[in-house]
Structure 1
Amino acid sequence: MPIRTNRGRAAVYRRLWGWPLRSPRHLAGTLVFLAVLVTVLGIVLPKAVDRPALAQTGPRASSSSAKPPGGLAAPVPSSSTLPTRLSSPLATPTSAPPNPEAVNVAKQWATAWANHPAGISNADWLNGMRALTTEEYLPVMSTVDPANIPATRVTGEPAVSSSYTSSVQVVVPTDGPKLSITVVDTGAGWRVADYDQAS
């Protein structure tokens, strides 16, 4: 029989809201039910929201291809994703004859690198190489302690180990280790971008 009075409805609502608090078992069951309900809604609602959005992209793309008044074509939104960095094969550097300027920069840089009188500060030592070093590599060189450099002079002529159109690898002998110096074309001239001990 339908409930026709407000007092009867209130009693039914009180019974419904009070049911979870009657016993620990009722409370645990209610919490489990609510957790399942929230999980189901979290899975179903995003899928239901995405479907209308996907359905609208077709007509919108076709309507945007129409020309607006004035004769200019409207831009068509692209639905394709941008390619990843490795989606196309990497270009192999082109070999080239060694650039004499690059070799000369490597030798000058190695001479300045080996020039570190006792007590010289990192800033003074770095100033001797600043004009020959890329801006990106200067912060790396600023962490070097000149007192730890195991060479004092260049002992021979540089030798090119590999040469490309925009970079040259040069080996420079010193009275310590041989240096393998990478010189790159920055557009403003050849500069040292890296160095290591040659094997």
Structure 2
Amino acid sequence: MPIRTNRGRAAVYRRLWGWPMRSPRHLTVVVFVVAVLVITLGILVPQLTGGNKPGGGAAAESSGNTTSTSNVPGTTNTPGVTGSASALPTRITEVPSAPTSAPPDPAALEVADSWGRAWVDHPEGITAEEWLAELAPFTTEEQLTEMATVAPGNIGATEVTGEPEVVESFTSSVKVELPTDDGNLLITVIDTPDGWRVAFYEQVS
């Protein structure tokens, strides 16, 4: 039967509020039910309102950490260490320029001619040391070392039969062909701190 008076409603409310106080068992039941409701609301409310999504600060921090530890080419990352990453050595991207062509230096041609005449000058009985001593003023140290294994007696040419002819000419090197009585010599002369010197030669037909 519906309660129609305020006095009746107040009596009902007093009975409901007083029920937990009637015994320790009633109080325990009420506390348990309230705790279950609080936990349930704590789980459901964030899911319904989107509260579990990370805030801007967390997202920014995560983004910052990801950027600092990403493997970017040219950098070295060490976990737990902050600061700028060390860069790898820079690669050479420019192609070396080609030698610059230039008219042959008369001094280079003179050195090639003098070297060729010393090369064919190997009378019978000359030692390798004596032969190399004649070539030394016109030859680089590296080329003299290579020629130390050459036996002068095995050289067939005995005289130069013409003038040096330019094959290639650059600002720092000149290649000439020098005729002898046993074929031609292809001689490369380079510009060194000590002047023009023969750096390479070969016999050609």
Structure 2 length-normalised TM: 0.59
Counterpart residue type for residue 61 of structure 1:
S
Which residue of the partner structure matches residue 106 of structure 1? 112
How many residues are treated as equivalent by the alignment? 130
Shift of 1:57: 9.3
Q: Secondary structure at the match of 1:130?
A: helix
Cα distance 1:107–1:58, how it changes in 2: closer, same or farther (>3 A)?
farther
Which residue of the partner structure matches residue 31 of structure 1? none
Please tell me whether residue 179 in structure 1 is matched to residue 202 in structure 2.
no
Cα distance 1:61–1:193, how it changes in 2: closer, same or farther (>3 A)?
same
Task: Measure the CA separation in 2 of the matches of 1:143 and 1:57.
Answer: 62
Shift of 1:188: 1.6
Shift of 1:170: 0.7
Q: Which blocks of at least 5 consecutive residues in structure 1 are unaligned? A: 1-52, 63-77
Cα distance 1:103–1:81, how it changes in 2: closer, same or farther (>3 A)?
same
Shift of 1:56: 5.4
Q: Secondary structure at the match of 2:108?
A: helix
- State whether residues 180 and 197 of structure 1, in contact with CA within 8 Å, keep that contact through their aligned partners in structure 2: yes
- Of residues 156, 160, 166, the one that matches 1:154 is 160
CA RMSD of aligned residues (A): 1.9
Task: Measure the CA separation in 2 of the matches of 1:181 and 1:188.
Answer: 18
Which residue of the partner structure matches residue 80 of structure 1? 88
Structure 1 length-normalised TM: 0.61
Please tell me whether residue 96 in structure 1 is matched to residue 102 in structure 2.
yes
1:100-151 residue CA offsets vs partner (Å, 9 max, x unmatched): 0000000000000000001111000000000100011111011100011110
Which residue of the partner structure matches residue 123 of structure 1? 129
Please tell me whether residue 55 in structure 1 is matched to residue 78 in structure 2.
yes
**Which is greater in Rg?**
2
Please tell me whether residue 138 in structure 1 is matched to residue 161 in structure 2.
no
- State whether residues 150 and 176 of structure 1, in contact with CA within 8 Å, keep that contact through their aligned partners in structure 2: yes
Task: Measure the CA separation in 2 of the matches of 1:103 and 1:112.
Answer: 14
**Any runs of at least 4 consecutive aligned residues in structure 1 with deviations exceeding 4 A, and if so which?**
none
Cα distance 1:198–1:79, how it changes in 2: closer, same or farther (>3 A)?
same
Shift of 1:159: 0.5
Shift of 1:80: 2.5
Task: Measure the CA separation in 2 of the matches of 1:157 and 1:88.
Answer: 40
Matching of residues 19-34 of structure 1 within 5 Å:
none
- State whether residues 150 and 177 of structure 1, in contact with CA within 8 Å, keep that contact through their aligned partners in structure 2: no
- State whether residues 109 and 129 of structure 1, in contact with CA within 8 Å, keep that contact through their aligned partners in structure 2: yes
Q: Secondary structure at the match of 1:192?
A: strand
Q: Which blocks of at least 5 consecutive residues in structure 2 are unaligned? A: 1-75
